[in-house]
Amino acid sequence: MPKIRRALLSVYDKRGIVPFAKTLVQLGVEILSTGKTAKLLKANRIPVTEVSDYTGFPELLDGRVKTLHPKIHAGILADRSNRSHRRSLRQQGIEPIDLVAVDLYPFEEGIGKGKMNLSKALELIDIGGVALLRAAAKNYRHVTVVPGCEFYEEVLRELKKNSGIQESANKKLAYQAFRRTCRYDRAIRDFFGEHGAELFPDVLELSFRKVQTLRYGENPHQSAAFYHDVEKGLSSGKFSLQGRPLSFNNLLDLDSAYRLVTDFRKPAVAIVKHAGPCGVGAGKTLEEAFQKAWESDPESAFGGVIGVNRTLGPSLAKQIVESGFLEVIGFPAIRPVALRVLKNKKNLRLVPFDTLKRAGKIQRAFKQVSGGLLVQTEDEREIRASQLKTVTKRRPTPQELRSLLFAFKVAKHVRSNAIVVAQGEATVGIGGGQPSRVGAVRLAIEKAGPRSEGAVLASDGFFPFPDNVEVAARAGIRAIIQPGGSIRDREVIEACDCSEIAMVVTNLRHFKH
């Protein structure tokens, strides 16, 4: 195990560098350093040799060139077991460098703070640091690379224990260094490509950062973790404000609730169970929206996940407490008074939507299949009243039209075949995930019961047969919205006319498999 005699310290993030350097000196290690790092070490009375003094060459171009010198890189890259390498070092008066502690200019953090022009971004692209990390990691058999302050304690522990670093430990650190430079280069690539402007590249490279290890996956025998998409610049903030750790299934339901309520401009509440909505309401206030969502299907709502698209206040918090058992509430913000109301529900998780927040211009959706990924753009199309075409003799009333648009928006978030029955801006029956559309119609109407009388119905896909309309008519449905496009559209329209049902078509399908 080679002894560490000389270390190069050059860091942007100065946290922990002083005690790290002090301990190295106590262990007999000579310190080389650059610029502000050297200045800080000297200010703390740590003996240090500046790189410019060691190389005999000053820093150039306002600090762009500091460590890009043969005396530095040859000292790092030399194979100590190679006679030719050792001879070259002696001939050139170059001393081996045994440890390299380097981090990188904060490019990712810099561009994540907001819109940044190209000139500023260029100055945050680290050249020398990346070269040092790669050189030290490549030569891990002889050199210890320390790619960030989070590794200081680990390295010092090894040094104190073994008077050197074992090759196996060096290899793990080299992996971390290459992982760091890989992520860094990807962030730069994405910035120059305007954050993934190429939707479907020949080689798809994805980068995710682990936020939390989960208790288990969909079932207790499966392991799981939650990762954030690094390319979208996500920040987890505080993962959960109270309650037990979130489960895999909690996060799936929370995501479904988040996607649904953020589709609405007015106050909206969604209650989700098993990745599908069981109740959705919109209104003038969150309290009104919650009441509508809860009354849609209170039996299914038990143990569900709630998503709201406005700040959660004390009034709604009291409604939630009185309603019954719920697993999770997701929200964009919460008032301190509401937190106090909910604090006694110790098992209720409170999750800011920052945990799931989507960012960026182009959204891609991924579904894993055996052997690979299916990639598509997100389903973000929204239908407006002006885009609807009435195909029946009876036109929907203004109230029915408003309810139809509401129901069709909800249907987008229900597993296909998806059917949503609504009264006003409240769901009263939802049928999804059925192999036949008429089966989904029957399920939604069964859920609605007497509330289907005078209600509207939305379908995420076209009606293949008129039997769907016949079932709806017997239940008292007065208006239907669906994409259209079936070879039996004429028969479906005639069935509506026979029952005086108004039907509008969207020419837009919302399948969700």
Phi, psi at residue 86, to the nearest 5°?
A: -65, -40
Amino acid at 60: L
Q: Are 17 and 126 members of one domain?
A: yes
Q: What is the pLDDT of residues 89-137, one digit of tens each?
A: 888 888 888 899 998 877 766 665 555 666 677 767 778 888 899 999 9
CATH number of residue 265's parent domain: 3.40.140.20
What's the rounded Cα separation, in Å, for the pair 59 and 37? 14
Given a cut of 70, whether residue 361 has pLDDT beyond it is: no
Q: What is the pLDDT of residues 387-414, one digit of tens each?
A: 999 999 999 999 999 999 999 999 999 9
User: C-alpha angle with apex 200: 183 to 377, nearest 5 degrees?
Assistant: 100
Q: Are 427 and 293 in contact (CB under 8 A)?
A: yes
Q: Are 29 and 112 members of one domain?
A: yes
Q: What is the pLDDT of residues 443-458, one digit of tens each?
A: 999 999 999 999 999 9
Residue 229 lies in a domain: no
Structure tokens at 285: 């206030």
What's the rounded Cα separation, in Å, for the pair 272 and 254? 8
- Show the domain range for 288: 235-355
Residue 373 lies in a domain: no
Q: Are 88 and 184 members of one domain?
A: yes
* DSSP of 411-444: HTTSPSS-EEEEETTEEEEEE-S-SSHHHHHHHH
DSSP secondary structure code for residue 392 in this structure: S
Please identify, among 135, 168, 192, the residue that sits at the C-terminal boundary of a domain.
192
Per-residue model confidence (pLDDT) at position 211: 80
**Has 138 been annotated as catalytic?**
yes
- Give me the mean pLDDT over the 54-74 stretch: 75
User: C-alpha angle with apex 229: 223 to 235, nearest 5 degrees?
Assistant: 100
What's the rounded Cα separation, in Å, for the pair 164 and 144? 9
For residue 367, the tally of other CB atoms under 10 A from its CB is 9
Q: Are 29 and 174 members of one domain?
A: yes
What angle, 0 to 180 degrees and rounded to 10, lies between the N-to-C axes of helices 35-43 and 17-26? 70
Q: Are 152 and 11 in contact (CB under 8 A)?
A: no
Per-residue model confidence (pLDDT) at position 235: 46
Cis omega (within 30 of 0) for bond into 417: yes
DSSP secondary structure code for residue 309 in this structure: S
CATH number of residue 180's parent domain: 3.40.50.1380
Range with top average pLDDT, 2-6, 110-114, 488-492: 488-492
SS3 42: helix
Per-residue model confidence (pLDDT) at position 112: 58
Given a cut of 50, whether residue 237 has pLDDT beyond it is: no
What's the rounded Cα separation, in Å, for the pair 246 and 225? 10
Residue 288 lies in a domain: yes
Q: Name, in order, each residue with C-beta under 8 angstroms of 274's C-beta and a sequence gap of 6 or more.
A: 249, 253
Residue 182 lies in a domain: yes
Q: Are 249 and 175 members of one domain?
A: no
- Give me the mean pLDDT over the 214-234 stretch: 80
Partners of 431 in the beta sheet?
419
What's the rounded Cα separation, in Å, for the pair 391 and 501? 11
What's the rounded Cα separation, in Å, for the pair 210 and 261? 26
- pTM assigned to the model: 0.76
DSSP secondary structure code for residue 396 in this structure: P
Q: Are 424 and 478 members of one domain?
A: yes
Please pick, among 274, 318, 345, 512, the residue that the annotation labels catalytic.
274
What's the rounded Cα separation, in Å, for the pair 467 and 111? 55
Per-residue model confidence (pLDDT) at position 430: 97
- Give me the mean pLDDT over the 156-184 stretch: 85
Q: How far is CA 223 from CA 114, 215, 253, 375, 381, in A?
A: 36, 7, 18, 24, 35
Residue 222 lies in a domain: no
Per-residue model confidence (pLDDT) at position 203: 77
Q: Are 409 and 332 members of one domain?
A: no
Residue 221 lies in a domain: no
Q: Are 399 and 256 members of one domain?
A: no
Given a cut of 80, whether residue 214 has pLDDT beyond it is: yes
Q: Is the C-alpha dihedral spanning 485, 487, 491, 494 positive or negative?
A: positive
Residue 272 lies in a domain: yes
Please identify, among 140, 169, 192, the residue that sits at the C-terminal boundary of a domain.
192
Q: Are 433 and 276 in contact (CB under 8 A)?
A: yes
**Has 171 been annotated as catalytic?**
no
Q: Are 131 and 10 members of one domain?
A: yes
* Higher per-residue pLDDT: 506 or 243: 506
For residue 323, the tally of other CB atoms under 10 A from its CB is 16
Given a cut of 60, whether residue 493 has pLDDT beyond it is: yes
Q: Name, in order, each residue with C-beta under 8 angstroms of 201's C-beta and a sequence gap of 6 or more.
A: none
Amino acid at 72: I
- The percent helix, strand, coil of the chain (3-state, each to 5) is 40, 20, 40
Q: How confident is the model at residue 184 (pLDDT cuts 50, 70, 90)?
A: confident
- Give me the mean pLDDT over the 294-300 stretch: 93
In the chain, how many domains are there?
3
Please pick, among 22, 69, 85, 138, the residue that the annotation labels catalytic.
138
Structure tokens at 155: 């390295």
Please identify, among 337, 355, 373, the residue that sits at the C-terminal boundary of a domain.
355
- Give me the mean pLDDT over the 489-510 stretch: 97
Residue 214 lies in a domain: no
* Higher per-residue pLDDT: 239 or 260: 260
* Higher per-residue pLDDT: 436 or 182: 436
Q: What is the 3-state secondary structure (H, E, C) of 170-194?
A: HHHHHHHHHHHHHHHHHHHHHHHCC
Per-residue model confidence (pLDDT) at position 275: 87
Given a cut of 60, whether residue 233 has pLDDT beyond it is: no
Q: Are 184 and 255 members of one domain?
A: no
Q: Are 393 and 332 members of one domain?
A: no
Q: Are 161 and 24 members of one domain?
A: yes
Phi, psi at residue 250, to the nearest 5°?
A: -55, -45
